[in-house]
Amino acid sequence: MSISRRSNGASSALQALASQVHPVFMLPPVACSWFGAFLAGETSLLVGLVHSVAIFSAVYTAHVKDGYVDFYGRGEDDDHPLTRRGCVLALVGATALFFACLAALWVLANPGGVALTLPTWFIGYFHAPQLDTNPVTATSGYPLGIALAIVGGSYVQAGALSPVAVAFAAVFLVLLSGVKVIDDAQDFEYDRSIQKRTVAVALGRERARTTAYALMALALVAVVAFALAAVFPPSTMLAVLGFAAVAVVARRADPELATMLLVRGSYVFLALLLFAVWFRPLS
């Protein structure tokens, strides 16, 4: 039985497997793994690489499982590049790679880092259909994975739980939860028709929108507060200005355009935070 639904052959199989790599959503967790490593100070490139591959595997698992459920289970998607067998093989391969990375981290780093990384696979695998039907878990799953990537990336390097890493993880959890509410609002009509309770379905479009921007504002205020308390470098407030400018524009846009702007704004936010932590220009 073929892996690809398009055609047989190794090339088609590889293309089908590669189709589940979505850079827009996969790059931030991997980048946050390295961000956590930089927060730890002295960085082992090997340990950082193993941890980032583990995070990549967890997110890949989430995309394959989500696509499988949406196409073969719920009938939401019109098409899918992988056969049922292809989905199973992709899940088995990604899971095997993830746990191989955990074993390597146990040897190269510390058990604590393994414990902080392990939940990312469970979040990815059980996102659909278990977690994505509840307003809280549907919204916070991906942001929580990002937060764990930061904390885990720091812990495997330092062997200790860094207050700075935890603070940054909390900021991203709240900020990206707001972005996720806007993202989910794109499918408001369909989600409501199948009784899928996203925040938009549970609260209504306008209240969900207000909630989303309130969460993002709270995260930005937290960055300022941490900077004033000398937990974060002062230059992290530049990241606040960068994301706030994007959010102001996105506030007037429809959910699809707003999501595109906010996701890319979060890239800018992360880049500016990394610049602030690494170079400390205002310190």
Residues 133 and 280: their CA atoms lie apart, in Å, by: 42
How does pLDDT run across 28-83, given as a tens digit for each residue? 999 999 999 999 988 899 999 999 999 999 999 999 999 999 999 888 888 999 99
Tell me, what's the pLDDT at 42? Answer: 81
pTM for the complete prediction? 0.95
Q: Which residue has the tokens 């921007």?
A: 213
Q: Give CA separation, 16 vs 29, 30, 82, 252, in Å.
A: 22, 22, 6, 37
- Cα 183–Cα 187–Cα 191 angle in degrees, nearest 5: 125
User: Residues in the chain with pLDDT < 50?
Assistant: none
Tell me, what's the pLDDT at 78? Answer: 84
Is residue 4 classed as helix, strand or coil in its secondary structure? strand
Q: What are the structural domains of the chain?
A: 21-161 (1.10.357.140)
Strand partners of residue 58: none
